[in-house]
Structure 1
Amino acid sequence: MDGKGGILVISIEGLNKIFKSNKSNITAVDDLTLDINEGEIFGVIGYSGAGKSTFVRLLNRLEEPTGGKIVIDQQEITALNSKQLRVARQEIGMIFQHFNLLWSRTVKDNIAFPLEIAGVSKIEREERVQELIELVGLAGRESAYPSQLSGGQKQRVGIARSLANNPKVLLCDEATSALDPETTNSILDLLVDINKKLGLTVILITHEMHVIRKICNQVAVMEEGRIVEQGDVLDVFLRPEKPVTKKFVEQVMGTNDEDDGVAHLIDTYDSGKLIRLHFIGETTNQALISQVAKRFAIDINILQGKITQTQRGAYGTLFVQADGELSEINKAIDFITNETSVEVEVVRDAN
């Protein structure tokens, strides 16, 4: 068990990867320590060169670590010999950015390939392949070749193939980066469905914060080979601490553009108070503005706002101008502060 009561499925301690050359050494992963609970969709995000793809390849030893320890499902991966590692990898599925399909094989034969390697009988293979084809939504495409499939369909084949041996962990290395936004969303929905149906632990590597926002429970932010920030996705979105994390949050929330827009709007109002309301979780669905307008003798103008969803709940920001008697405005602010879970910040007081 970990400190929060979850069951640990992956424990990483002091993980290092140094690429050596004649001219210099490059540290891709630097003393990385991380615990991941069973059944989580855990996101690892970083810009290009942060070390995230090297990190995920270290987990199943597609890259050999320079140092450190990796334990997956109580088995120390870093201590296994070649034969033991081949067996252990059957419980660690992996999907890739560019699909890595066998172009001379059909959909059905691509999915069956890991089962052939594992020595599964033909009858069992065919039964398992059909189950997976249904699971990933490729019924009717069994005999198609990769060249006849769309990008999303190719990735569905990759996902089905990665699940062939009933793994406990699924590693996703930039699995949606080569796809358009609509296809990306369908693949992310599929991963959530698989996570729920199979209880699979998913580790998702990406440079796109909207991918983290949409499906992850926990997130670790990587920079220069290290984890610089980590936590519940909603908490990280609400209170990003490091500059790199703030940049990622801005990708989704458009924070800079939003603030710039409000700065322009401020000049058009010379009375009342400009207020920023911060909604978290269930409060995003409350008709708060309507309640306040009915309860207090003030006018409320909505200037700008945005609400977004995460796996842990919704959050959002709303800028409003409250106009009227100062005493009534203050009563309204006190009501929101003390009677709701909405956070209030007075951005400008023109009274």
Structure 2
Amino acid sequence: MITLKKLSKTFQTRTTSISAVDQANLEISQGEIFGIIGYSGAGKSTLIRMLNMLERPSSGEVILAGNNMASLRGKRLREARQEISMIFQHFNLLWSRTVAENIEFPLEIAKVPKADRQKRVKELVELVGLKGREDAYPSQLSGGQKQRVGIARALANKPKVLLCDEATSALDPKTTDSILELLTDINQKLGLTIVLITHEMHVIRKICHRVAVMEDGKIVEQGPVLDVFRTPEKKITKEFVKQVIEPEETMETIRELLGKDDGGTIVKLMFMGENAEQPVINELIRSYHVSVNILQGKVSKTRDGSYGTLFVQLEGNDDSVKEAIQYLKGQQVEAEVLEDDK
């Protein structure tokens, strides 16, 4: 569906040049929800804007739905863009138009007959959960409702690809989850390919099939979300994974214990797939001469399966602790003994 080949974008200033995207290579499949994550300045917004040629690349190729986007101009580019829609962090709604009129706007531009426009608006209002709010103005809507209008408007012309530029960054956590659930539902019902950029690993974890991590304009790591959570390779990827699995308050407690002579052995456990739901700790306590103090634990879902993290304090003699850790590893549990980094 989408192929990026050595895609680069350089911005020129009076005194220097800035490489916003550097030799990016990606393959995104039809019907996939693909996440691109990075901190501010990583180049992710520039990258996503090159997919529909809002930014033209300095070099490289963007192949989207069979079109070499960088080679298109004028009418051919406008036609290709009909298959790509975009939603934004700050909604970009027309404040003088109602919900229905905002959704209808791209259909007016496309010169769709009025009866067909009204039918399509009705379908979309129901799809995004705004039935009964058709005549409301944006100023009368919550942030989540405004984004639902933005999503409905983006779907008006039945695109093949939906680009999401930090679409949940302006929303509170509960509203963010509701919008992510809506995007998942749209993806499943319409078979729509979704590309989203974010700086929040929670968003990636919640709905994406695969993820690419960007740093300083480069794609430094990519793969299935569950694999990236299990074995992050780059330092920046590990930082993003920690957003979800290592709450700061837990890490403060762990650092205090690591600084004590009698703090026991602190072990971080990661359970993947079916192992995340097995009573491994129960068997550990029953079979080995160690005390287990659970410091923090969590089981979460990705699109491809469950994963769990558990921080435990093991107390006992050295041999018993070693045997317990070996047992855990034998149960296909990743066990990392944490040490004081001072």
Alignment match of 1:239 (pick from 231, 235, 238): 231
**Corresponding residue for 2:335?**
344
| TM-score under structure 1 length normalisation | 0.89
1:112 equivalenced with 2:91 (yes/no): no
**Corresponding residue for 2:210?**
218
Alignment match of 1:94 (pick from 86, 89, 94): 86
Alignment match of 1:163 (pick from 145, 155, 166): 155
1:137 equivalenced with 2:146 (yes/no): no
Alignment match of 1:27 (pick from 12, 19, 27): 19
**Corresponding residue for 1:74?**
66
The change in CA–CA distance for 1:272 and 1:57 in structure 2 (over 3 A counts) is closer
**8 Å contact 1:272–1:326 — kept in the other structure?**
no
Q: Distance in 1 between matches of 2:170 and 2:34?
A: 20
Give how far 1:205 is off.
0.8
Give how far 1:276 is off.
3.5
**8 Å contact 2:257–2:263 — kept in the other structure?**
no
Q: Distance in 2 between matches of 1:326 and 1:224?
A: 44
Query: Superposed, which structure 2 residues align to 1:126-275 within 5 Å?
Result: 126-254=118-246, 258-266=250-258, 270=262, 274-275=266-267
Give how far 1:87 is off.
1.0
Q: Distance in 2 between matches of 1:337 and 1:45?
A: 31
| TM-score under structure 2 length normalisation | 0.91
SS state at 1:119 partner = coil
Q: Distance in 1 between matches of 2:70 and 2:9?
A: 13
Q: Distance in 2 between matches of 1:152 and 1:249?
A: 26
SS state at 1:27 partner = strand
**Corresponding residue for 1:54?**
46
SS state at 1:100 partner = coil
Aligned length: 339
Give how far 1:219 is off.
0.8
SS state at 1:191 partner = helix
What is the CA deviation profile of residues 144-195 of structure 1, one whole-angstrom value per residue up to 9, with x for unaligned ones?
1111111111110000010111111100001011111111111111111111
**8 Å contact 2:230–2:270 — kept in the other structure?**
no
1:38 equivalenced with 2:56 (yes/no): no
What is the CA deviation profile of residues 77-102 of structure 1, one whole-angstrom value per residue up to 9, with x for unaligned ones?
11112101111111101101111111
Name which of structure 1's ranges 254-263 and 243-252 shifts more when overlaid on structure 2.
Answer: 254-263
Give how far 1:294 is off.
3.4
The change in CA–CA distance for 1:336 and 1:251 in structure 2 (over 3 A counts) is closer
**Identity over the aligned pairs, expressed in percent?**
58
Alignment match of 2:277 (pick from 282, 285, 308): 285
Give how far 1:221 is off.
1.0
What is the CA deviation profile of residues 194-246 of structure 1, one whole-angstrom value per residue up to 9, with x for unaligned ones?
11111111000111111111111111111121111111112222222222222
**Corresponding residue for 1:300?**
292
Name which of structure 1's ranges 294-303 and 240-249 shifts more when overlaid on structure 2.
Answer: 294-303
SS state at 2:82 partner = helix
Instruction: Calculate the aligned-residue CA RMSD, in Å.
Output: 2.3
Q: Distance in 1 between matches of 2:263 and 2:239?
A: 33
Partner amino acid for 2:309?
T
Structure 2 unaligned residues grouped into runs of 5+ = none
Q: Distance in 2 between matches of 1:254 and 1:277?
A: 11
Structure 1 unaligned residues grouped into runs of 5+ = 1-8
SS state at 1:101 partner = coil
Q: Distance in 1 between matches of 2:209 and 2:147?
A: 22
Q: Distance in 2 between matches of 1:97 and 1:284?
A: 34
